Structure 1
């Protein structure tokens, strides 16, 4: 992922995107049978985004990947915005169904872990604004599974939606930090520990930055750095934060049952 710029995908034609997502057939066209399918185009775009980033996904680049002309690609997708919708729904299809018989807490944990893994397989998902994505079958199934995990535990409908939004937001934020850190290691050629070995002596030589002036941050920062061998550990933060969110939900549900 070359950067953290956000790609807008809500300015396309929602009607056409939804038709493509749900397999609503367009009127048949005269002429030779198409060489490709819409699924071929989407898979090529996903492969391109995985290899580079979302900015690499243009009609021209996808056409090159498929060995066709850019104009011919419009036979399958109206434009880039609709293609992004199709890509998002496509990778949402990779998310597994939580195992049967799990309690709500275990089910939400499994869902969050699967989303964490999905962001690491497809980092470009973090570059796409999804609030106006045209929902397809895989995205609907994702939301349904998330809601089913907390169905009947004592939350109202709006609260159920808020719970899955909070959990997804935590996953998204910590996955972004994880991928940003990995990218920084690759671009700099140094791990966090190696970088700190260079920075620490310089900082230590500045009297105003010593532990007597910042005792709490010095103590906590040292403990965290030793525990993680890095300035931060997004995977730890993700799982620690998720557990605390679930603790809060459990406390709310328990309080209502008293």
Structure 2
């Protein structure tokens, strides 16, 4: 069980031994993970690389879970902007909702691209798992930069956080797929493209049982596949842009799009408890509509 308080102290440099030895341990661990993968990282291997005993490392890092957290935050430092904003500069006011005059989309896209490039340089980041992780200062700084960009959309606070989480989760998912494909290629010596290209026996099975798949295959849908990351990132940002555009509409337009009227009397129809769309505002209106249809048929 990880000591969460000790992990926080190590990451943020409070009550921890932050000397050169700790920096060397983390740097050596990152280099080992970059070259041999996360499985190769152990306190014993690091002690051998650094020329110390394993117990000497434990004086600085309580265990592997803390080491992984330190490694992650260390490489996240690479996401730091080239020019830090001056402390005296006031925070920018949110842009009018629906406007991209501040270029929030381009900046959010740049944040996503820097994230995927970081994970390409350090593919072991995708292997850290889904467990709760205490963020370090560099991780929080990256999150802060993304929030400051998304906040320029003028969306409500909860949606700003949700937008950054959405983009970040997309990047992490894409990175995991890239890491898996890379490991498979290294292990087998065969790329994904080569492996799928040799599956002619599978393609021979495509027939009228799978009409849509067969048609798309025969029409060349797989001959020049779109880059999954590029396609996905644009669609994610399209969705965010659509959300910003809707949020920027006048209230009366927003409301009119969401209110449905009764097909019988024209009054507003409330949403049902189950979430299913309703056509009539009441059972009486439904019966009147049925009687009218019956009379018309007669």
TM-score range, shorter chain: 0.7 to 0.9
Q: What's the Cα RMSD here?
A: 2.5
| 2-structure distance, mates of 1:26, 1:61 | 23
Would you say the 8 A contact 2:126–2:179 is kept in 1?
Answer: no
> 1:18 matched to which residue of 2?
8
Q: How does 1:123-138 map to 2 (within 5 A)?
A: 123-129=123-129, 132-138=132-138
Query: How far off is 1:190 after superposition?
Result: 2.5
**1:152-231 residue pairs with structure 2 within 5 A?**
152-200=152-200, 202-203=201-202, 205=204, 209-221=205-217, 223-228=220-225
Of the structure 1 ranges 219-228 and 101-110, higher mean CA displacement relative to structure 2 is found in: 219-228
Counterpart contact for 1:98–1:107, Cα < 8 Å: no
Matched residue, 1:253: 244
Question: TM-score scaled by structure 1?
Answer: 0.81
- Aligned partner of 1:31 in structure 2 is none
Query: Deviations for 1:41-77, whole angstroms, at most 9, x for unmatched residues?
Result: 1111111111122222111111111110000101211
Aligned equivalents of 1:63, 1:240: Cα separation in 2: 44
Count the aligned residue pairs. 232
> Are the counterparts in 1 of residues 155 and 247 from structure 2 also a CA contact under 8 Å?
no
In 2 relative to 1, CA 151–204 (structure 1 residues): closer, same or farther, beyond 3 Å? closer
Shift of 1:193: 4.2
Once the two structures are superposed, what CA deviation does each residue of 1:115-147 show, in whole Å capped at 9, x if it has no partner? 111111111111113652222110110110110
SS in 2 for 1:133: coil
Q: How many Å separate the matches in 2 of 1:39 and 1:247?
A: 41
Contact 1:90 1:138 in 2 (8 A): yes
1:68 to 45, 52, 59: 52
Separation in 2 of the partners of 1:102 and 1:253? 13
Corresponding residue of 1:52: 36
Q: Specify whether residues 194 and 27 from structure 1 end up closer, same or farther in structure 2 by C-alpha distance, changes over 3 A only.
A: closer
Higher relative contact order (CA 8 A, sep 6+): 1
Q: Which runs of 5+ in 2 are unaligned?
A: 86-100, 250-298
Given the two structures, how large is their TM-score scaled by the length of structure 2?
0.71
What's the counterpart of residue 110 of structure 2?
110
| Structure 1 Cα separation of the partners of residues 240 and 197 of structure 2 | 41
Match of 1:244 among 231, 235, 260: 235
